[in-house]
Structure 1
């Protein structure tokens, strides 16, 4: 059996528990972004996922200490 998995881009978030004591709170908020996006009938594999959510991720980055990159898989 063959399966074709389309290439997609994704956020790769680095969140150090020692640097950010509220790391669980931050992960919860990041996961909430994904859940809200899914409520719109979209998924993390939607071509515009990064563009649709990067501003929200940047806003959280201002509040919490983490870094992120965007990688193509």
Structure 2
């Protein structure tokens, strides 16, 4: 299962993941700040038999220009 705000790019990513894995990939477009979207994610996970792995990559970096995330000495 994949989730993102942009439906078109999400569907493309899901199709590619399904081709690469040979399995079923469900795309659920929406914003994780929405309770309805979170409920849809839970329902989709249950329909697929649960989750084996969750990668949460949502966040806000702040103002422009973007700050450096790491500085190597």
TM-score, length of structure 2 as denominator length: 0.34
TM-score, length of structure 1 as denominator length: 0.34
Greater RCO (CA < 8 Å, at least 6 residues apart)? 1
